[in-house]
Amino acid sequence: MDAFFLKIIPLIAAFFFGWFIKKVKLMKADDAGIILRLVLSATLPALSLLSILKVELKPELLYLPFTAMAVVFIIYGIAWWVGNAMKLPKTTFGSFLVGCMIMNTGFSLPFFMAKFGVEGFARASLFDIGNSFLIFTFIYYNAVKYGDNCKFCKFDWMKFVKLPPLWGLLIGFTIRAFNWQVPEMGINFLNLVGQPTIPLIMIALGLIFEPRLKRPGAVFTAIFIRMGLGLFFGWLLTYLLGITGMTRTIIIASSSTPIGFNTLIFANLENMDREFAASMVSYSILIALGYLPLVIWLFS
């Protein structure tokens, strides 16, 4: 068996372990939010900083956040047209549109780490800058627009600026720009704090997984747009821009990631169709357990 697939078996096992401990009531789905906040606030920034300190910086990396934004806008146009053609109710249409746009890049990080190590992780983190920026601006605007809470809504555009992983990347780039040396104790600390990131993400996704299915036709249409067309347009952008190697693989695979869990957060926050959002997120994650490793392997 390919060494890459041997590395991802424990990742898939961690996902089902999270689902199992929810089923035996040792933890519940709401606990995933706590785990993911810990990842976002502590372990992921440490790992992002460490990866930038170790990665070889190249001009081609500047493409990464902008390709993420391009994919989101292309998918938005397609999802808006398809959702209207399906005549979905307003709140279901909102969940459909938001779900198609949000790339679950956090899901892909463990697989990139398994395949490419810290350099792949660093490049995937740069891609996620563009994705995260649109999540907390343009995508959030659409969640508010199609939710039932619009008259009470207030935009917080500073959410993106406050993202801890972004600050981890910025600090890492600053250290590299000035050629500062990080003491060994600091590197060891970042290793210690960052190491739990990968298993925690997979366990949290297992806790979130919910096999109930609402509007299956619309759910699998959204999954096809997010993962199938996302892959195609990720590949097309790398072809048009002449991007090759590891960066090409990361753009294509990141563009084909499952529907992000922020879809659930926005559905709850803005009173969109929560059950439909949960179905999209859950089934796209289940499909991606086999689909995403295959995409990474095929395009490497």
The predicted-structure confidence for 247-286, as pLDDT tens digits, reads as follows 999 999 999 999 987 787 788 777 788 888 888 988 898 8
Helix (H) or strand (E) holding 7: helix 3-23
The class that CATH gives domain 3-299 is mainly alpha
pLDDT at residue 174 is higher than 90: no
- At 47-75, the pLDDT tens digits run 778 777 776 667 767 788 899 999 999 99
pTM comes to 0.79
Query: What are the residues whose beta carbons fall under 8 Å from the beta carbon of 146, sequence distance 6 or more?
Result: 90, 91, 93, 94, 97, 98, 270, 272
Task: Please list the alpha-helical segments (H only) found in 25-182.
Answer: 31-38, 44-54, 63-85, 90-101, 105-116, 118-134, 140-146, 158-161, 164-177
Query: Which one is predicted more confidently, 209 or 279?
Result: 279
Q: Residue 244 carries which DSSP code?
A: -
Please give the pLDDT value at position 153: 52
